Every structure is written in structure tokens, then in C-alpha cells.
Amino acid sequence: MAKAENKTKPTALQVGDFLETVADAQQKQDAGQIIEMMERLSGHPPKMWGPSIIGFGAYHYVYDSGREGDMCRIGFSPRKGQTVLYLLDGFSGYAELLEKLGKHKTGKSCLYVKRLSDVDTDVLEQLVTRSLAYMAEKYPE
């Protein structure tokens, strides 16, 4: 049986070229602010992962099933109608911060926001910082 290949991996696509495809001007501006924050906090430059994720840094994982791969340590994607931030440690223990964040939704490891103006960017920065600390502990660089 052939081993499944990960679909999300680093690509040669340039972040600036990808951002030019974002139709919503405010979402494009928000993406610039998120890039600045994530680059500053992670210490890694932005890189495209797959066709639409802007990621920072990388780590290698191995699941109990034996499946393994590489993924960005933190990232986001400006998708139609909302921006998705990937905080890979999930949201367990983040209830207090999420209450202060503002208008958002969460998935397992996804934070959905329509506009940065809908959220407290200081709280968002705290969430990103905590997620990066978790990743540094679980997957040291």
C-alpha cells in the first residue's frame, strides 16, 4: 500500500504573489498585519504552504499511526469571507483569552475572524505567543 503524501507542504509560490490574489482590500491589509505579527513573534519569515497557507517556521511530526510529515509552526490563510489562523495547539485552556478576543469562531486548531478590526489584536498576539510557546516545547527547533 502506497504511503499517502501530505498535500500541505512548502511551495515556491511567493507570499506577495499570493496576496495579490486576495480580492478583498481590507482582508489583504489584515494579512499584512498578521504577517508582521507572526514573523516578529516566530522569528521566521513567511512562506507559502500549499496554495493558500502563509506559514512561519516548520516542525516534523509523527502520528501514532506512523504517518509523518512537516508543517508550519504557525500560520494563517485569508480565505473568502474570513481569515483562518492556525494555532496548532488548539484552544484548550484559552477560554479567558478567547472571551476577551472579540468576534471570532474556533475549530479544532483554527481561529476564524472576518476582520482584524473585530478582535483585540493584543489578545490575538497573546494567543499566537502561547501557541508558539507550546510548539517550542513539544517540537523544539
CATH number for the domain that contains residue 33: 3.90.1150.200
Mean pLDDT of 50-73: 90
What's the structural domain count of the chain? 1
Q: Is residue 8 part of a domain?
A: no
Q: How far apart are the first and last CA of the chain?
A: 32
pTM of the predicted structure, to 2 decimals? 0.90
Is 62 or 48 the better-scoring residue by pLDDT? 48
Q: Is residue 98 part of a domain?
A: yes
Half-sphere exposure of 73 (CA within 13 A, CB side): 26
Name the residue with cell 508550519: 72
- Alpha-helical segments (H) within the chain: 15-19, 25-42, 95-101, 121-138
Confidence of residue 6 (pLDDT cuts 50, 70, 90): low
Confidence of residue 2 (pLDDT cuts 50, 70, 90): very low
Residue 140 has pLDDT above 60, yes or no: yes
**What is the rounded CA–CA span in Å between residue 35 and residue 16?**
11
Name the residue with cell 501514532: 64
**CB-based contacts of 53: which residues, under 8 Å, 6+ apart?**
8, 72, 75, 76, 77, 86
Q: Is residue 1 part of a domain?
A: no
Residue 79 has pLDDT above 90, yes or no: yes
Domain that holds residue 52: 15-138
Q: Is residue 7 part of a domain?
A: no
Q: Is residue 40 part of a domain?
A: yes
Q: Is residue 3 part of a domain?
A: no
**What is the rounded CA–CA span in Å between residue 97 and residue 93?**
9
Q: Is residue 2 part of a domain?
A: no
Residue 58 has pLDDT above 70, yes or no: yes
User: How big is the CA angle at 23 (ends 18 and 26), to the nearest 5 degrees?
Assistant: 100
